[in-house]
Structure 1
Amino acid sequence: MNRRIKLFILLFICAAPLFAQNVSVTAKVDSVQLMIGEQTDLVIQVKLDANKKALLPIYNDTIVDGIEVLDMAPIDTVYSDDKAKMTLTQRYKLTSFDAKLYLIPPVEVEVDGEVYKSDPLSLKVETFDLEEADPEQFFGPKDIMEPPFVWGDWVMLFVSLLLIAPAIYLMIYLIRRLADNKPIIRRIKLTPQRPPHDEALELIQEIKSRKSWQTAGPKAYYTELTDVLRTYMFKRFGFNAMEMTSSEIITELGKTENQKDIDELKDLFSTADLVKFAKHNPMINENDANLMNAIDFINDTKVLPDPDAKPEPTEKVIVEKRSLRTKILLGIGVALTLAASIACIVYIVKEGTDLLRSLF
């Protein structure tokens, strides 16, 4: 009987390591050798049954004296195909600023109240080897460099400075126009109309001075002279003499003027018709007589201005009352100009401060 008990105890002791193999803890460092200030990862991997709970270590600042913990990644969990096993992986970001060989003690993981440990690790941190024979291979800190002048950094500032003064002036003008509520006054320059006899006499004097009957021929001379008279009659009497024949003009004049002036003018138009249609070539004295008849007709029929009459105005004033729509537009203009001015000022202050700070 005692023999059977001993055999059972022996089998239990031998089977205990097999049960313990259900949990395994491994730890490794991605790089076991690094330069001072470089970083590496400490990877802890725990394999256990899916129904077990494990507590992995939490390092606050250092894992050992001289090795700093910069970051701790979330735990990565991977299950086996039958969901009976799982693997937990935890990564810690390490660095060191002291060159030496470090011994990382075994990592302890608690699984269902029982502690399991990994193998210890080593991490070698090396520093730079400065050779005195070649001191130029390393350089000290460089002096502060001044940034180059770039027009693109200043162009918007200059544009804002140029726009701010007109914008403020426009805003003040609009505010004053909106506040005074004055009507809008426009002035139009008027050109006084010349009397028709002045224009006609001036044109006849030009014909006389050019001696058109000699330079251009009788036909051109009489055409030009009768056109001046027709234009004068239209402006003076109001009938369209330019579209009337000579006989129609004489008939129309007979309604208003004395017969002596009409007879003289009748001789002029008769001569003009003969020259135009019958190739008549009048004498020089006849040309002069017809020109004088035209001048006498104009002087006899002209209307002199009334000396007591008021002079014609040279300027016309138009007064327009400001409507509600105009007031609303003025108000909107003031608001938009004020907003643009404020934006320009803010931009000038901000950009100017940044540029001066970068320079000094």
Structure 2
Amino acid sequence: MNKFSMKLRRITSSWSGPALFLYLLFFANSIIAQLQPVITSKIDTTNIKIGEQLHFTVTVEADSTAQVFFPEGQTFSPLETVEAFKTDTTRKKDRITLQKIYALTQFDSGSYVLPAQRIEINGAGFFTDSLKVDVATVPVDTVNQKMYDIKPLISVQKSNSAFWKIFLIVLLIAGIAGGLIYWFIFRKKPLTEEEKVALLPPYDRALLELKRLENSKYLIQDKYKVYYSELTAIVRSYLEEEVHISAMESTTRELIQKLELLRDAGELTLQDNTIKQFEKILQTADLVKFARSKPLTSVAEQDRKAIEEIVVKTKEALPEPTEEDLLEQEEYQEVIAQKKRKKKIISIVSAAAIVLLVSLGGLITYLGPSYVWDTMTGHPTKTLLEGEWVSSSYGYPPIIVETPEVLVRQQVKLPPDSKANIKELQAFMYRSEKGLLTIGTTSTTLNKPEEPDFNQVVEQILQNFEDQGAKNIITKQEEFVTVSGVKGIKVFGRGKFTLPNSKELVSGQYTIILFGGNGFQQQLILSWLDKDTYAEEIVNRIIGSLEVKTEA
């Protein structure tokens, strides 16, 4: 038995029954009061201006072992939470004091009730007091400051940044490929020694090759066959190019006969001893190449000198070209140059086409043919999807949603039979001019504080679809919950809808999401073309961003 129990026993041992009962009742109540949590709440001001912040403070005093959970998110509606500050904790013996401060604001003037907030302590709920807050408008000096009309909405051309990025990538790939093709194919490369020799006139080339043969080591290395093969090839090539006879494929006898015919015809003024000397050298070369004959080194060197003289005499024996010949040669050279230019242009165009096709093929393989085609042709819903989106609040009670275009306020004329139930209806809408994509919101306040009839609302919307020409509408329904936990109803399905400014029916889909409460209702209406994947992405993004305020 502890000291407290012994003391209590000594004090009460001499008391009568009624006195003891009263003491125990008072003592038990004081202990229970100490164990019960104490919750207080306050605001630093009850009057603010539009957009000004107030501080709402909640203080909880409880046992040190208690688990306390403060409200989170937008639970202060119609006031908006700007910031929830970190919880301040103070301990004193076996008691703990927790203090949580919230910064709240409101952007519409009027009197608002800050609702009671639920504080969860050890699984049990405790509520703060509700408080009244007055929001005053900011006075505007209309005397000294000139007032202007509200500017109307203007259409802004959408950015095609995604298309230009892809286009620039294609150009970059084409530029790199074109640079490689130019470097390896069309670039004027430095000529090798062999190429420089090949570009010389036949006469100069023959003399240069004969000089090289003189400086060769064929005779020292006992390569007579190679020596005479090159010697005869040099002179035959010269005759074929300069004299225009088929010397490379002719036998020794045939070549001599052709030279004699040209001499007899007066087209080649060579002497008989020159032709006979040439014939003798060719015969020696045939013996070396085919009979493995091996002449003296001095004879081989003399034959080379003789061939050099024959080349010189042949050059001198050729008649001077006439003016007609020169003109024909000039025309011929021009034709050759045109053919070369045409061939080069065809090569460049073909290379560019190949680069573009390869680049386009790579993009199609990576992105898909439909995506590339839609990018090149500027698909309307794809342009909307990849453009700059806008997040805004529409109507009252507000509907907060992110859309690819700003929704425009619609002038709605209520039928006479609806005015008895509807106090105010605010509608906003965007409708694509080139497709079925439609985005609309409506916020309705009722004259009576009653729950809206969602079935009647859905029937009215579907009836509007039919009045606009829609047919074969299929309807499904399920529960919908926003990210913040607000519950609503989702109605969706398919049907045949009319395109803008047309009576043509196309397959489409629609989604209607409804929220509501005591005296108000909110709607988000979407419709889009069936099998339009870009529109489906737009719709999913819009629905994912949807938030509503449920306080009218």
Shorter-normalised TM range = 0.3 to 0.5
Question: Larger radius of gyration, structure 1 or 2?
Answer: 1
RCO (CA 8 Å, sep 6+): is it higher in 1 or 2? Answer: 1
Higher helix share: 1
